[in-house]
């Protein structure tokens, strides 16, 4: 008898061998991590957010460490979709792990053009749409904070692609379930959350912001409780699978998200602290299942008990 637990999960039409994925922007284009991680053991890889044209991102300083986390204002620096296809994809397509391309645009039309381009790439398993970036036509307000704007992006991308569509939600909203429901209604197969929480840091000697961009996105263990709460809320509000993201550093962190209802998790900032952390998380999840006599990970998803009988 095979005593290894079955770690496979379904995220909106794609079966992953296990629930441990890497979060966009924290794992480069995967090759950077090949000496630390057996890339073929990962559940899925999400590459750095891509735009139509290459982007230099924001001016430095654009990263600062904070208590239990970091603030980044990278500004979505990336090589652009065509260079990605020419230079990064040949390595990625040799892997057996599903590759997801994360995209962002400043207009709905840019999202549509990117989605069409990615749809044509056989080696890409699915698309993750980052709706946390500024909508230039709406004066820089992020698409992801307005249900109508989010709905327009998701609906437009949905019409362009038949590949699985993951929509990545911003936490910088009052009610994340409103955006989640709209994304689902417009055809998202899966929701991933959360992106970074807007924050800032001040240099008191210079009395200036530490980041050239003034504000940045907070990530790492500091945001985990907020992310977990939002994942739990969204899992109760929608039918589609949810991927939990935010401060996941250990197997226990990942298990919290899964018990709250997430079908998979993405590991972000923790990769910077320990580039092999995804492998540790994977082993820890498997050990937990064995120790608790759980043969299939899917039995653990959403198993949170919220009754008063504690
Ligand atoms: C340096 C850095 C770059 C990031 N770049 C992207 C990106 O290009 N696209 C995206 O959707 N999210 C991006 N993120 C957000 C992460 O994918 C993730 O949602 C967030 O950091 C929360 O997870 P964590 O606490 O595990 O890092 C970035 C985060 C960091 C720290």
Domain ranges of the chain: 9-57+74-197+219-299
Structure confidence at residue 9 (pLDDT): 98
**Pocket residues for ligand 1 (CB within 6 Å)?**
23-26, 48-49, 72, 74, 76, 102, 130, 168, 195-196, 219-220, 223, 245-248, 267-270
| Mean pLDDT score of the chain | 95
β-pair partners for 264 = 243
Instruction: Convert the pLDDT of each residue in 189-235 to its tens digit.
Output: 999 999 999 999 999 999 999 999 999 999 999 999 999 999 999 99
pLDDT classification of 310: cutoffs 50, 70, 90? low
Instruction: Convert the pLDDT of each residue in 121-138 to its tens digit.
Output: 999 999 999 998 776 677
Find the 72 Cα to ligand 1 centroid distance in Å: 9
| Residues 83-91: contacts with CB under 8 Å, at least 24 apart | 83/54, 84/29, 84/47, 84/50, 85/117, 85/121, 88/29, 88/31, 88/47, 89/121, 89/123, 91/29, 91/30, 91/31
Find the 268 Cα to ligand 1 centroid distance in Å: 6
Find the 29 Cα to ligand 1 centroid distance in Å: 13
Find the 196 Cα to ligand 1 centroid distance in Å: 6
Residue minimizing CA distance to atom 23 of ligand 1:
246
Exposure string over 17-35, b if 16+ CB within 10 A, otherwise e: bbbbbbbbbbbebbeebee
Structure confidence at residue 132 (pLDDT): 84
Structure confidence at residue 2 (pLDDT): 56
Catalytic residue numbers? 133
Instruction: Convert the pLDDT of each residue in 159-174 to its tens digit.
Output: 999 999 999 999 999 9
CATH among 2.50.20.10, 2.60.40.10, 3.40.630.10, 3.20.20.70 for 9-57+74-197+219-299: 3.20.20.70
Atom number, ligand 1, closest to the C-alpha of residue 48: 8
- Beta carbons within 8 Å of 145's beta carbon, 6+ residues apart: 170, 172, 173, 179
Structure confidence at residue 226 (pLDDT): 98
Structure confidence at residue 76 (pLDDT): 86
Give the Cα-Cα-Cα angle 218, 135, 137 (nearest 5 degrees).
155
Distance CA 140, CA 163 (A): 29
Distance CA 298, CA 259 (A): 10
> Tokens 């794992």 correspond to what residue?
27
Distance CA 221, CA 238 (A): 26
DSSP 8-state symbol, 280: H
Structure confidence at residue 126 (pLDDT): 98
């Amino acid at each position: 008898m095979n005593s290894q637990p079955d770690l496979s999960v379904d995220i909106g039409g794609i079966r992953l061998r296990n629930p441990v994925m890497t979060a966009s922007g924290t794992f480069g284009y995967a090759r950077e991590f090949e000496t630390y991680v057996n890339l073929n053991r990962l559940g899925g890889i999400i590459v750095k957010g891509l735009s139509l044209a290459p982007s230099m991102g924001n001016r430095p300083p654009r990263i600062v460490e904070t208590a239990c986390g970091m603030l980044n204002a990278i500004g979505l620096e990336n090589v652009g979709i065509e260079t990605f296809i020419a230079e990064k994809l040949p390595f990625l397509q040799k892997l057996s792990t599903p590759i997801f391309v994360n995209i962002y645009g400043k207009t709905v039309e840019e999202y549509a053009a990117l989605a069409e381009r990615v749809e044509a790439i056989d080696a890409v398993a699915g698309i993750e749409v980052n709706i946390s970036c500024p909508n230039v036509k709406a004066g820089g307000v992020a698409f992801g904070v307005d249900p109508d704007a989010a709905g327009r992006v998701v609906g437009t991308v949905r019409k362009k692609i038949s590949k699985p569509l993951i929509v990545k939600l911003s936490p910088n909203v009052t009610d994340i379930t409103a955006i989640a429901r709209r994304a689902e209604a417009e055809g998202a197969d899966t929701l991933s959350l959360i992106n970074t929480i807007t924050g800032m840091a001040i240099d008191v000697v210079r009395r200036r912001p530490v980041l050239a961009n003034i504000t940045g996105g907070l990530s790492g263990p500091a945001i985990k409780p907020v992310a977990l709460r939002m994942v739990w809320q969204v899992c109760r509000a929608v039918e589609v699978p949810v991927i939990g993201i935010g401060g996941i550093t250990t197997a226990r962190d990942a298990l919290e998200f899964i018990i709250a209802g997430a079908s998979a998790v993405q590991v972000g900032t923790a990769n910077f602290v320990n580039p092999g952390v995804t492998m540790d998380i994977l082993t820890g999840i498997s050990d937990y299942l064995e120790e608790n006599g759980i043969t299939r990970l899917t039995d653990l998803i959403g198993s949170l008990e919220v009754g008063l009988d504690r």
